[in-house]
A and B are shown apart, each in its own frame.
Chain A
Amino acid sequence: MSMTELLAPLQSAMGAWWLPVWTIVKVVVIAVPLIIAVAYLTYAERKVIGWMQVRIGPNRVGPLGLLQPFADTLKMLFKEIVVPSGASRALFFVAPILSLAPALAAWAVIPFTGTLVLSNINAGLLYLLAMSSLGIYGVIIAGWASNSKYAFLGCLRSAAQIVSYEIAMGFALVGVLMAANSLNLSDIVAGQEGGAAHWYVWPLFPLFVVYLVSGIAETNRHPFDVAEGESEIVAGFHVEYSGIMFALFFLAEYMNMILIAALTSTMFLGGWLSPFPILNEVDVFGVHPFGDGMLWLAVKWALVLLIFLWIRATFPRYRYDQIMRLGWKVFIPVTLVWIVFIGAMMQTRYAGLFH
């Protein structure tokens, strides 16, 4: 008896309200594991950076420090929320929600396997661009509503940075949609079928690098985290936030990191496809554990996230004018040239290499 048959009586009982209710159930099924993944990403970050710097990292709470994220969350929950005097109260409370909501909403179109996706819309890539451009409102409003000079400086820096890098990111995605001939994320992955050699990372390599680095800049991560440069403007736009409201900003930042990792693996690294098609034949008691599926997606996310952490542990912070120069004078020209190049190559007999 399949899942649809099981749910049929429930569906007929609810009538027109079935679709919204069932969608909310699906949203919860995606969002809850994601939030747990964020918790363990913070743990992984502290551990990995610890090992890179020849330290141990968190190891006190629970076995191997595995309960550390929950201890942190509990601590945040019980802290007082301080609203600065002269702050714009309503906006001060809305800002963390506005930064978290787009980060969550973008997950609606991420395909987990060929059939497992919340909303398989045709304009998926456009929707993602739109959602990632909304995250900036949380930052701007937080900076302005706090009524603090440091927070305001941080929000201005961050706004300029995100607006600049979004252009390079958008152009990198134009290359992907040219290669895939589609804006639908499932179709983009399906276009990379046939092993690691067919992934878009090879024909679009410059765009891949631009996308990954812009992704780091877009999420305000090291080495582009001038928006919260501790040594310059204390903590940037969220300097006035405490307790669980600060935790929401934190959650949004890590959620965006996972989102960028998911998008990079979907668009350039073949999504849920296994790197070697021969692994689809491996048969263990009737199932194909190493074939195309969530396992490979998880491996790819983990690898991209490891690159994020690695970069954070390795590079010093960029100077602000250097960030702007990299975005406008290096990345945007590189993407423009490469888009024209693949467009031209698609008219020659080597077109097959770019599809």
Chain B
Amino acid sequence: MSFQTFTFYAFATILVFAALRVITTRNPVHAALWLVLSFFTAAGIWLLLQAEFLAIALVLVYVGAVMVLFLFVVMMLDVNFGSMRQHFRSYLPAAAAVGILVFFEMALVILGSAVGPVAGAPAAPAGSNTQALGVLLYVDYVYPFEIAAVVLLVAIVAAIALTHRKRREMKHQDASAQIRARASERVRLVRMPSEKPPV
């Protein structure tokens, strides 16, 4: 067994275990952390495929940013497990149907391509993977990519505009006014006769 095969099986085992723990653990914070572990391991498997840009982007975006915010929210919520599990049984038929459907679809894909590398898949581009991706995104498909970016930006602005409201009772500090303040405006020096000495 080569070291690469060993690495793949090690990562795969950890990934499957972590993914199972995400849905079986009782504590939501633990579940989020297991999800972090499964993202990280998936990135390791992508690295074995020499997709270094995608792997690092997965760690950077999902592990480094998205999951941090997830954890942030989950940690501050006071989740009541009793009420959460109440409807578990009533959701079971729908969830089982979706799960079986997903299982069959994936089985079709995997059996259709047989196990092992897909025949006719293009070889990894020579040189830097990142550069090849950059050419694809910013030269070949620059307009679709930019339009997608603008759509995302509009979504962000819309989300903020919908939820943001001016809170009148809040007291704000104007930083530039604070910096512009001079001692002469704030302190008034008064000249006055000293008190009479005690008799």
Residues of A within 8 A of B (CB): 16-17, 19-20, 88, 91, 121-123, 126-127, 129-130, 133-134, 136-137, 140-141, 144, 152, 156, 159, 163, 166, 183, 321-322, 325
Residues in A neighbouring B57, C-beta threshold 8 A: 126
Would you call A156 and B72 a contact (CB within 8 A)?
Answer: yes
- A sample of 19 more A-B contacts (CB under 8 A), given A130-B63, A130-B64, A137-B36, is A17-B3, A88-B29, A91-B33, A122-B127, A122-B130, A123-B129, A126-B53, A129-B56, A130-B59, A133-B59, A133-B63, A134-B64, A140-B71, A140-B72, A140-B75, A152-B75, A156-B76, A159-B72, A163-B69
Assembled-state Cα–Cα distance A214/B173 (Å): 23
Majority SS of interface residues in chain A? helix
Residues of B within 8 A of A (CB): 2-3, 27, 29-30, 33, 36, 52-53, 56-57, 59-60, 63-65, 68-69, 71-72, 75-76, 127-131, 173, 175
Q: Which of A16, A88, A123, A163 sits near B52, CB closer than 8 Å?
A: A123
Residues in B neighbouring A159, C-beta threshold 8 A: 68, 72
Q: Which of A19, A126, A144, A325 sits near B75, CB closer than 8 Å?
A: A144
Expressed in whole angstroms, the minimum distance between the Cβ of B14 and any Cβ of chain A is 15
Majority SS of interface residues in chain B? helix
Would you call A321 and B3 a contact (CB within 8 A)?
Answer: no
Expressed in whole angstroms, the minimum distance between the Cβ of B49 and any Cβ of chain A is 14
Would you call A20 and B3 a contact (CB within 8 A)?
Answer: yes
Expressed in whole angstroms, the minimum distance between the Cβ of A338 and any Cβ of chain B is 20
From B53, B68, B71, B76, name the one whose CB has the most chain A CB atoms within 10 angstroms: B68
The answer to whether residues A322 and B175 also contact, given A122-B52, A123-B130, A129-B60 and a CB cut-off of 8 A, is: yes
The 9 closest A-B pairs by CB, nearest first: A133-B64, A130-B59, A122-B128, A130-B60, A126-B56, A130-B56, A123-B52, A16-B2, A144-B75
Residues in A neighbouring B175, C-beta threshold 8 A: 322, 325
Expressed in whole angstroms, the minimum distance between the Cβ of B43 and any Cβ of chain A is 9
Residues in B neighbouring A140, C-beta threshold 8 A: 68, 71-72, 75
